[in-house]
Structure 1
Amino acid sequence: MFKLLSKESNIFSIPVYIGFLLLVVVIFNILNFNTYEAIVAGITFLGIALGYFCFHSIALNYQTHLPLFLYTFFIFGLYPGNLDIGIAVSLLTNSFLILLLTSADEDIRKKSYVLVGSIVALNFIFLPTTWPMAVFVIIHVIATSAKITLNLFRFLLGIVLITFSYFSVMYFVQFTSWNIDYFPFGKMKPVTDYTELLPLIPVVLMLIYAVYDHFKNYNKKSPISRYKYTFLLVFSMAQLVSIILYMNKSYEYLLLLAFPSSIILSRMMRFLPKYWMREASVWLIIISLLTFKAGTVFDLF
């Protein structure tokens, strides 16, 4: 399996994976099909499909099938079907953020902060628990920008524009009352029962080892690889904060980690010393995700 997935991907690879993804989304939503679910499924599909193009943008996957396959399998294993629109929008906005912030064109990165701010604000409107993404972008701006103040201003301008537009629309449709529950701060719902997450322990352990191995061999990495991997880790931490603080039993939050996890794990497997370790890792991930899927669908745990 690993040898097959280690082959170089081509221009037809992504359409095949996207086609399988479309099939998964349709199958999981066909039984409860209505206008709202169709819209959510469409947003989900666009967000996840756009993630395939992020692999090329971040350029850490050595152009092989392995991360694409892992990403697809993560989606299959973690996708519940009746996804909340907030998570769906977050998947879409996260993909746009990755494409913009990892663009090879430096001019695009510098001039996209207004758009990035708008995307982060839109993300917050649909899913307030994703506020750590704003912190992630601020850290990214401070760490990578030569003109920190200017780019922070652009980022905040994007947020203000969307916020003003949102309140204007709400006022126009006469939604003038304010629900304080909309703010996620102080309303954390951390996971208290880990029983249903037990099948994912092997994946978690491999992710921990992957991060450890990266920093163990940090000096051997190229500067661009260090930068992009650090970007991926900080991005993952932002998602992880939301998951730890707010997921509770809403396991669809785990979809937010599907993209970074697939890259981190594929790189880890590539550098394992023995072939049998790589093969075993692939199958262990597959079995873990299938077990988790079976547990959530058939309520086994």
Structure 2
Amino acid sequence: MFRLLSKESNIFSIPVYIGFLLLVVIIINSLNFNTYEATIAIITFIGISLGYFCFNAIALNYQTHLPLFLYTFFVLGLYPGKLDIGIAVALLTNSFLLLLLTSTDEDLRKKSYVLVGSILALNFIFLPTTWPMIFFVLIHLIVTSERISLNIFRFVLGMSLIALSYFSLMFFIRFNDWNMDYLPFGKMRFITDYIELIPLIPLVLMLIYAIYDHFSHYNKKSPVSRYKYTFLLVFSFAQIVTIVMYMNTNYEYLLLLAFPTTIILSRMLRFLPKLWMQELSLWLIIVSLVGFKAGTHFNLF
């Protein structure tokens, strides 16, 4: 199966995967259809679909079916069928952030910081628990920018524009009360029951090995590859902070890691020395996701 997925993808591959994903989303949501759920499903579908195009934009994987297949499987394995609108918006905004911030063009990045700030502010409005991403982008901005002060100003300006628009809208529709529960700080809900996450242990171990292997051969990587892979790791860390502090048993939060995990594991599979290792690891990923899906759906644990 690994050899089959290692074949080069073509221009029709992504539409086929997106079409299959759309079919699954329609089938799942047709059982509980209403306007609100349909809106969330559309936002989720767009956000996940953009992820397919991010593979080519980030260019950390060879253009094969492997990352596309794994990404589809991760989404199906982690998608609970019913998402909070905050998670749906976060999936959408994360795709845009990845497209903008992984660009190696400094001129493009500095022009996009206003947009990045706006995206993060919008993300915070819909899902306040994603606040670690704001600090991640700030660190990324400071480390990679030549004109730090100016770019921070652009970033803050983008956030301020969305904040001003939001408060103006709330004032206009007479929502004048402030609910302190909206702020997530001090309301952490750490995971206390890990039983349902047991099927994902092989994935965690493979991720650890993949990161270890990357840094073991760090000097052999191109500067662009180092930059993008490091960005992806820090991006993933920001998501993990949110997951650890706020997920509890809301496992849809794991969808935030579907894209970066796919890239990391796809690269690991690609560089394993033996075909049987690649095949075994691929099937282990599939079995782990199927086991997690079955466990959460049928309450097996």
Normalising by the residue count of structure 2, what TM-score does the alignment of the two structures yield?
Answer: 0.99
User: Could you tell me which amino acid in structure 1 is paired with residue 286 of structure 2?
Assistant: I
Describe the superposition over 1:57-79 as per-residue Cα deviations: whole angstroms up to 9, x where unpaired. Answer: 11001111111111100000000
Q: CA deviation at 1:286?
A: 0.4
Report the secondary structure of 2:61's partner residue.
coil
Describe the superposition over 1:194-234 as per-residue Cα deviations: whole angstroms up to 9, x where unpaired. Answer: 01110111011101110111111111111111100001000
Partners of 1:4 and 1:228 lie apart in 2 by 27
Structure 2 residue 278 is the aligned partner of structure 1 residue 278: yes
Partners of 2:155 and 2:262 lie apart in 1 by 29
CA contact (8 A) 2:106 2:145 kept: no
In structure 2, stretches of 5+ residues that fail to align are none
Deviates more, 1:250-259 or 1:219-228: 219-228
Partners of 2:107 and 2:54 lie apart in 1 by 18
Partners of 2:120 and 2:39 lie apart in 1 by 21
Partners of 1:282 and 1:65 lie apart in 2 by 13
Partners of 1:195 and 1:24 lie apart in 2 by 27
Report the secondary structure of 2:184's partner residue.
coil
Describe the superposition over 1:70-126 as per-residue Cα deviations: whole angstroms up to 9, x where unpaired. Answer: 110000000001100000000000001111112354432220100000000000000
Give the structure 2 partner of residue 186 of structure 1: 186
Give the structure 2 partner of residue 154 of structure 1: 154
Report the secondary structure of 1:226's partner residue.
helix
Number of residue pairs the alignment of both structures matches:
301
User: Could you tell me which amino acid in structure 2 is paired with residue 36 of structure 1?
Assistant: Y
Structure 2 residue 132 is the aligned partner of structure 1 residue 132: yes
Alignment of 1:225-264 (within 5 A): 225-264=225-264
Report the secondary structure of 1:63's partner residue.
coil
Percent identity between matched residues is 77
Partners of 2:136 and 2:28 lie apart in 1 by 32
Partners of 1:5 and 1:149 lie apart in 2 by 46
User: Could you tell me which amino acid in structure 2 is paired with residue 249 of structure 1?
Assistant: T
Describe the superposition over 1:20-67 as per-residue Cα deviations: whole angstroms up to 9, x where unpaired. Answer: 110121122111100000000000000000011111111001111111
Alignment of 1:1-301 (within 5 A): 1-103=1-103, 105-301=105-301
Partners of 1:246 and 1:252 lie apart in 2 by 11
Normalising by the residue count of structure 1, what TM-score does the alignment of the two structures yield?
Answer: 0.99
Partners of 1:242 and 1:104 lie apart in 2 by 27
CA contact (8 A) 1:57 1:104 kept: no
User: Could you tell me which amino acid in structure 1 is paired with residue 183 of structure 2?
Assistant: F
Deviates more, 1:15-24 or 1:85-94: 15-24
Report the secondary structure of 2:150's partner residue.
helix
Report the secondary structure of 1:176's partner residue.
coil
Detail structure 1 runs of 4+ shifted over 4 Å in the superposition: none
In structure 1, stretches of 5+ residues that fail to align are none
RMSD: 0.8
CA contact (8 A) 1:100 1:112 kept: yes
Partners of 1:4 and 1:222 lie apart in 2 by 28
Partners of 1:3 and 1:297 lie apart in 2 by 31
CA contact (8 A) 2:78 2:252 kept: yes
Partners of 1:141 and 1:148 lie apart in 2 by 7
Partners of 1:10 and 1:150 lie apart in 2 by 41
Report the secondary structure of 2:188's partner residue.
coil
User: Could you tell me which amino acid in structure 1 is paired with residue 143 of structure 2?
Assistant: A
Q: CA deviation at 1:244?
A: 0.4
User: Could you tell me which amino acid in structure 2 is paired with residue 6 of structure 1?
Assistant: S
Partners of 1:271 and 1:87 lie apart in 2 by 33
